[in-house]
Amino acid sequence: MTDASGYAWMVVTSATAVSVVAERVACLPSDLRVAAVGEPTARAARAAGWVVDLVPSESSGAALARELPDTSGTVLFPRSDLAAPTVVDALRARGIDVDDVVAYRTVGTGDEPVVLDSPPAAVLVTSGSVAREIAGRLSPLDPRTAVVCIGPGTAAEARAAGLSVHAVARSRSAEALLDAVVETLTPTAPEQEGTP
Could you tell me the CATH number of the domain that includes residue 155? 3.40.50.10090
Q: Note the pTM of the prediction, 2 decimals.
A: 0.73
Same domain, 74 and 22: yes
In a domain, 97, yes or no: yes
pLDDT at position 9 is 98
- The answer to whether residues 13 and 96 belong to one domain is yes
- What integer pLDDT is reported at residue 191 of this predicted model? 55
Are 129 and 100 in a shared domain?
A: no
Of 41, 73, 104, the residue that ends a domain is 104
The residue among 69, 104, 139 that closes a domain is: 104
Number of C-beta neighbours around residue 92 at 10 A: 15
What's the domain range around 157? 122-185
Choose one of 73, 104, 135: the last residue of a domain.
Answer: 104
Q: Which burial class, exposed, middle or buried, applies to 89 when counting CB atoms under 10 A from its CB (0-12, 13-18, 19+)?
A: middle
- For the chain, what is the domain count? 2
The DSSP string of 59-125 is SSHHHHHHHSPP-SSPEEEEEETT--SHHHHHHHHTT--EEEEEEE------SSPP--SS--SEEEE
- Report the pLDDT value the prediction gives residue 23, as an integer from 0 to 100: 94
Residues with pLDDT less than 50, the chain: none
User: What confidence score (pLDDT) does residue 42 get?
Assistant: 95
Q: What type of residue is 162?
A: G
CA atoms within 13 A on the CB side of 164: 10
Q: In terms of domains, do 14 and 98 share one?
A: yes
In a domain, 192, yes or no: no
Query: What pLDDT score was predicted for residue 189?
Result: 52
What single-letter DSSP state applies at residue 6? T
Tell whether 48 and 79 lie within a shared domain.
Answer: yes
What pLDDT, on the 0 to 100 scale, is given for residue 190?
56
